[in-house]
Structure 1
Amino acid sequence: MMSHEVSSPMFFKSAKRHLHRLCAPTPPSQQCGFTLIELLVSIIVGAIIVSSMLFLVLELLKVSKREEVLTITQQDMRRALAYMASDVGEADYVYADPAQVTRIATEVEGDPRWPAGATPVLAFWRLDPIDMGDLPANPAPYNENDPDGCIAEFDGDRESECSTLKIRQSAYSLVIYLIAENDETGIWEGPARIIRYELPKYSDVEELLQTVGYDDPSIDNPNADDGSFADWVVINGPPEGNAQVLTDHVDLTDAAADWVDCPDVGAYLRVPEIDNTQDPLNSFYVCARIGDDIDQIDGQDVRVGSLSQSLIINLTGNIEQSPATAASSESSKLPALQSEVLVRGVIEKRVTGD
């Protein structure tokens, strides 16, 4: 068996040298850590990097929010344009002349619901269906003296009106679309809004109560100062229709801009018409087709004939005043939208031939 001498002098010398290396202080040149200046410089550089990253993140969030608002607003403009196109597409009579639109608006502007200072752009008459559940039910069993139940419910003119309404199942309503500038103190956020004003025939169908101020343009009453579609007027006091906002964030053209006219001034009438004494209204206007007949006026070929065969509705949105974005006026205006509508009504239209 081999044995080791634990008490060997060489062993103690080696252990002593090893212990001395462990316990000896580190020379200043070999110390680890940061000086105060290095720490301050590191903090400043880190703060700059973090601040830059936060600024970049915030800018990206703003751009993302702005693009989201732009997309939503443009979708609202498309929906509003589609609604107006569908609405006027069902019209029986459209006022295509800007002077007619202004006159009709003047007739109903006494309505307390009429927005003050608004500009009328589109006016027409359309047939709205009547809920037959609001009218008297047909007697069961059948009564030859009162087949529709109107005699038992009404008398005089209202009995005849009830019978007529049961056959037609609809009544004419006057519809006007307007653009109104938004008040900064109001609830609306955009530069302007589009309002749909409607004057229906009945305020209460069940009682056959006619709306105040309404006159049916399809019925000529020789004993009343009324008129047909073209020369319709309010009767029996200021009307009492209803007005609802269709969409907000509609653009208002800069006063320095020029009026935008219709694509073919010989074939279309612009509503509102170009008025160089006022600021141009290019954000919401209508081009109403005049007709297909060619006539010589002042030595030029001009299309004349039946009015309002088709319409071109123009609409432009703007998110300039939206609280969700700080976009400038130049970058906040949305692309202009346009929709051409073929009016289905046939009142005061004519087919030309050889």
Structure 2
Amino acid sequence: MNPIQFLLGIQIKRSKLLSQSGFTLLELLVAMILAVLVITPLLGFMVNILNTDRQEQAKANSEQEIQTALDYIARDLQQAVYIYDATGIDAIKNQLPSPTATDRVPVLVFWKREFIGQAITAADSNKDDTFVYSLVAYYLIKDTSTIWSNAARIARWQIRDGVSSSSTSSVTCNGYTGKFVSGYCPSSGYSSFNFDGVGTLEQKMNSWTRLSSYTTTTTTGGNTSTTTTTVMPDAPLVLVDYIDQTTTGAPSATCPTGYSKVTPTSFNTRDTGNMTGFYACIDRVNTTAQVFLRGNALARLRTTNISYRDSQKNYFPGINIRVQGRGFVFTK
């Protein structure tokens, strides 16, 4: 036989053998079982790592946010000149936004002396600083809004006086008779507290009423007309979300000796009045408040079963601070 034919024959036989080789069904099943036994634990390990990281991140975010919110409230309180207790909040509740709303409760209400930088024009054309009075209220809100979380949130409301001015460039503001620096009109409905007449400081502060309406008179073609404008207070602005909304089973609200918890009687039928995720203890005489906050990290992870439980208390970081106002008001 020709050597070339012999070699070609061997190569053809070898190709046929190779084309008929491969894995059996049993071999494939064994390989798949081994792959599952190896990959499944690895996947479970990775999923567990991701879940743990997500949970720890939720806790860290809650801790950071409530710390930032409490620092903000503390800076506000440092300028306080008068802090309302529960009786005082009940007395002025109709002057605050949404007095009949069932989804919120005012937790902290106080007057402060607010710094306004570079607002007054001095004789040398430079700007100078001044102070104005402001009324501030912090609310605990729990509703069914789809914008915010299923937990509660804290909102801040403020009404501030304008910066008075006697310069030729001053402006008039609707509802007020004085002149003010341009861009520094009083907030909608602002009215200062009144010390006229007899009574204690508490009585006078509890009798505060905001500007609810004002009239304007115009003369056109010899005809005079009067228009009455109703003034509505601005809505509170949300300061922080994911505040614990638990009403039963959560740590109780306790106050130090000499302090009284702010629990307005006209609001105590509301669920928000029974929550301890945000509450304040007041020493009105010494213009001092202790504020308590508790976050809810579970609400960042799921939408149900987010109430406080001792077994998951790590998801509910709490913090508190005691602040004394730096100013005071005095009346005879």
The TM tier, using the shorter chain, reads 0.5 to 0.7
Distance 1:273 1:109 in 2: 15
Q: Hey, which of these two has a bigger chunk of strand by percent?
A: 2
Structure 1 runs (4+) greater than 6 angstroms displaced: 324-327
Question: Whose RCO is larger (CA < 8 A, sep 6+)?
Answer: 2
1:109 to 97, 100, 103: 97
Distance 1:57 1:326 in 2: 25
Equivalent in the alignment of 2:244: 251
Identity of aligned residues (%): 27
Matched, 1:178 2:139: yes
Matched, 1:76 2:52: no
Matched, 1:169 2:130: yes
1:195 to 151, 155, 178: 155
Q: CA RMSD in A?
A: 3.7
Equivalent in the alignment of 2:279: 285
Distance 2:129 2:122 in 1: 15
**Preserved contact between residue 280 and residue 291 of structure 2 (Cα < 8 Å):** yes
What is the identity, as a one-letter code, of the residue corresponding to 2:80?
A
SS of the equivalent of 2:41 reads helix
Matched, 1:211 2:187: yes
Farther-moved stretch of structure 1 (35-44 vs 66-75): 35-44
Distance 1:60 1:123 in 2: 44
User: Could you tell me how far 1:239 is from its partner in structure 2?
Assistant: 4.3
1:167 and 1:75, CA in 2 relative to 1: closer, same or farther beyond 3 A?
closer
Distance 2:73 2:254 in 1: 20
Equivalent in the alignment of 1:127: 113
Distance 1:234 1:83 in 2: 25
Equivalent in the alignment of 1:62: 51
User: Could you tell me how far 1:40 is from its partner in structure 2?
Assistant: 0.4
**Preserved contact between residue 144 and residue 150 of structure 2 (Cα < 8 Å):** no
Equivalent in the alignment of 1:320: 298
1:315 and 1:258, CA in 2 relative to 1: closer, same or farther beyond 3 A?
closer
**What is the correspondence of 1:200-279 to structure 2 with a 5 Å cutoff?**
200-202=160-162, 205-206=181-182, 209-217=185-193, 220=196, 228-237=204-213, 238-241=231-234, 243-257=236-250, 259-264=252-257, 267-272=258-263, 279=271
Equivalent in the alignment of 2:30: 41
User: Could you tell me how far 1:269 is from its partner in structure 2?
Assistant: 0.5
User: Could you tell me how far 1:118 is from its partner in structure 2?
Assistant: 1.4
Q: Deviations over 1:261-300 (max 9, x none)?
A: 2133xx110012699865422110011126xxxxxxxxxx
> What is the number of residues matched between the two proteins?
268
Equivalent in the alignment of 2:7: none
**Preserved contact between residue 179 and residue 192 of structure 1 (Cα < 8 Å):** yes
TM-score by length of 1: 0.64
1:109 and 1:70, CA in 2 relative to 1: closer, same or farther beyond 3 A?
same
Gaps of 5+ in 2: 1-13, 15-20, 163-172, 174-179, 214-230
User: Could you tell me how far 1:327 is from its partner in structure 2?
Assistant: 8.4
1:206 and 1:218, CA in 2 relative to 1: closer, same or farther beyond 3 A?
farther
What is the identity, as a one-letter code, of the residue corresponding to 1:107?
Q
Distance 1:82 1:107 in 2: 27
Matched, 1:50 2:39: yes
1:90 and 1:190, CA in 2 relative to 1: closer, same or farther beyond 3 A?
farther
User: Could you tell me how far 1:260 is from its partner in structure 2?
Assistant: 2.3
SS of the equivalent of 1:130 reads strand
Distance 1:325 1:212 in 2: 37
TM-score by length of 2: 0.68
1:118 to 104, 126, 131: 104
Q: Deviations over 1:123-164 (max 9, x none)?
A: 11111233444x455378xxxxxxxxxxxxxxxxxxxxxxxx
Distance 1:287 1:346 in 2: 18
User: Could you tell me how far 1:89 is from its partner in structure 2?
Assistant: 1.5
**Preserved contact between residue 110 and residue 135 of structure 2 (Cα < 8 Å):** yes
**Preserved contact between residue 288 and residue 312 of structure 1 (Cα < 8 Å):** yes
Gaps of 5+ in 1: 1-24, 26-31, 141-165, 291-306, 350-354
Q: Deviations over 1:17-41 (max 9, x none)?
A: xxxxxxxx9xxxxxx9965324302
What is the identity, as a one-letter code, of the residue corresponding to 1:344?
R
Distance 2:54 2:305 in 1: 11
Farther-moved stretch of structure 1 (248-257 vs 56-65): 248-257
1:252 and 1:43, CA in 2 relative to 1: closer, same or farther beyond 3 A?
same
